[in-house]
Structure 1
């Protein structure tokens, strides 16, 4: 079954616009080929997550591995460890977990079953972030990382969002919105202070931000259709 079966006009236009922008940056500003691949596969990954499709993980395998390599060159060690040691192996875990919790329909094909986070779940999530953010920033500072507080915030929030994603919680998207905003700030600051031509990273995170807002709206809609419950 094609992953493009039930794509809306918005989804097609969204992907086309950011693809064209990436190709322009690659040609006009001498952007890196790896940056182009990371951005394109990353966009395919997140739009498929927003649609609740397992196929997102196959693009995620490529994106996370190459992104870790690029981030290493800029000394963003939090991003390196997050993507290389956390995101990359969890793509395979996600394929396994999501494949066990899907529902099929004639209109949308195969969707993942989604949940809503309870109040207790939110309390644990916020407490985990507070502890993890402080501890990880100090670790990054010790190993000579750059922009350690923003790097730590994006890393810890990303871990939380990824775990919520694996468990299929709709509120993952609210965390992803924060991750994407901070990541735009991180890469903008890094490229301005260190130089470099990986502008595709800014385009990618901007695309992720748009998608995260859409993802939240779409998962709420999917959840309402499924009779979503808090867990």
Structure 2
């Protein structure tokens, strides 16, 4: 707990103002949309709309701001955010994001702590940032191949998951109707999964190139959650805070890319 507070005090005034402003925006959106959009006869709906969704959004932004700054306590906020966001993704039918958050991001937070604690600058307590260099030559084709394979995998398991979990996920069909391409949904889901896996691995190993993949991830998720709002009438109480979270992630990714690029140059 002491480390959490200490790292928050290392943020500058603008960063703290950004966190406070976003938190208030999420709470306002939660109150506005959940007041009329919650099924008050369902404890699941109440907890999802009034607790899980806003906690996911607020803790997620705390996490990415601390990552952009290079502060190690980001892993605690990331652990909380991933646990909550996985449930929101499952509820919305984004099974790729659900699997990714619960079975990849949650355990990976401990690797963030383990790796970062050995690479902190003794004076600033910021992680030592570095450039990817020639490794980008093989990383890009590997990411593209992984997207194709993951998209194919999701087309195979989506029907099984929908039946096994008693979920009525129509998001893939709706995306296919908008684009005229049957694989739009699986490829969108696969892209967000692969980009996030690549970004997290680069983040664990202190590479500034992570922010390219975070930017792509955030853009795709802004699109994906906009589709949820347009196609699912009762999704607003949990989808609006989530969409705001991804917009905040995108803005923060721009800041993170600038900050880490400078940090990598200084470290070199």
Which is helix-richer, 1 or 2? 2
Pick one of 91, 95, 112 that aligns with 2:127.
Answer: 112
Which residue does the alignment assign to 1:21?
25
Distance, in Å, in 2 between the alignment partners of 1:16 and 1:92 is 26
1:187 pairs with 2:228: no
User: Any stretches of 5+ residues in structure 1 without a counterpart?
Assistant: none
Aligned to 1:178: 216
Preserved contact between residue 68 and residue 256 of structure 2 (Cα < 8 Å): yes
Per the alignment, residue 9 of structure 1 pairs with 13
Compare 29-38 and 154-163 and name the one that shifted more.
Answer: 29-38
Aligned twin of 1:140: 154
- Where does residue 50 of structure 1 map in the other structure? 68
Q: Which structure has the larger Rg over C-alpha atoms?
A: 2
Q: Is the 8 A contact 1:26 1:33 kept in 2?
A: no
- Counterpart of 1:18 in 2: which secondary structure? helix
2:131–2:207 contact (8 Å) kept in structure 1: yes
TM-superposed CA distance for 1:65, in Å, is 1.0
Give the secondary structure class of the aligned counterpart of 2:125. Answer: strand
Taking structure 1 as the reference length, the TM-score comes to 0.92
TM-score, length basis structure 2:
0.80
Find the counterpart in structure 2 of residue 211 from structure 1: 252
2:121 is aligned to 103
Aligned residue among 84, 94, 97 for 1:66: 84
Q: Distance in 1 between matches of 2:228 and 2:153?
A: 19
Structure 2 residue ranges without an equivalent (≥5): 35-48, 160-171, 173-184
2:193 and 2:253 map into 1 onto residues whose CA distance is 17
Structure 1 stretch displaced more, 122-131 or 52-61: 122-131
* Distance in 1, Cα, partners of 2:200 & 2:10: 25
The answer as to whether partners of 2:130 and 2:263 remain within 8 angstroms in 1 is: no
Partner Cα separation in structure 1 for residue 76 and residue 70 of structure 2: 14
CA drift of 1:53 comes to: 0.7
Give the aligned partner of residue 139 of structure 2: 125
Kept in 2: contact 1:34–1:66 (CA 8 A):
yes
Contact 2:132 2:208 in 1 (8 A): yes
Most deviating of 142-151 and 41-50? 142-151
Aligned to 1:41: 59
Residues 174, 216 of structure 1: 8 Å contact kept? yes
Asked whether the equivalents of residues 75 and 110 of structure 2 are also in contact (C-alpha less than 8 Å), the reply is yes
Secondary structure, aligned partner of 2:122: strand
| Deviation by residue 1:207-229 (Cα, 9 ceiling, x = unmatched) | 00010100111112223333x2x
Give distance in 1, aligned partners of 2:130 and 2:263.
10
CA RMSD of aligned residues (A): 1.4
